Amino acid sequence: MSQARSGMPGATRECPHCKTTILESAAVCPSCRHHVRFDANASSQAVAGAETFVPLKVEGQIEHPADAPPWEYSVVVSIRNERGEEVARQVVGVGAVSADEARSFTLTVEATPVAGKFAGKGRVWH
């Protein structure tokens, strides 16, 4: 996975709280939800959803039957580009379910339009 230059759309940094890789433009970490930089509009955007939208949301559930042995599971997220090449792959969780247990999963992609001097310039290969 390539790193975009600082200030470019797609540039990343590490959250100082949870150490997750986040967008440099983020005022709030999407993983731990801590504020990572001051943004006067961050609280109003987070509440009203003014800038961020969700172009993809998938929800599902697995239910373990009572008469089967326990299942182990791995939650794997992969990202592919327009040519079908995998640009990122990560295991985000593992676990097990036993008789009459269930787990539900939600995958959400949050997007924010890029504003400022780099909007619409070049491509970022993430």
pLDDT computed for residue 70 by the predictor: 94
Tens digits of per-residue pLDDT, 48-107? 445 789 999 999 999 999 999 999 999 999 999 999 999 999 999 999 999 999 999 999
Q: How far is CA 14 from CA 11, 47, 75, 106, in A?
A: 11, 24, 22, 24
User: Which pLDDT belongs to residue 45?
Assistant: 47
Angle of CA points 81, 87, 93, to nearest 5° = 120
- pTM of the entire predicted model: 0.65
Domain boundaries, the chain: 12-111
Q: How far apart are CA 36 and CA 22, in angstroms?
A: 10
In this prediction, residue 47 has a pLDDT band, given cuts at 50, 70 and 90, of: very low
Predicted pLDDT of residue 98: 93
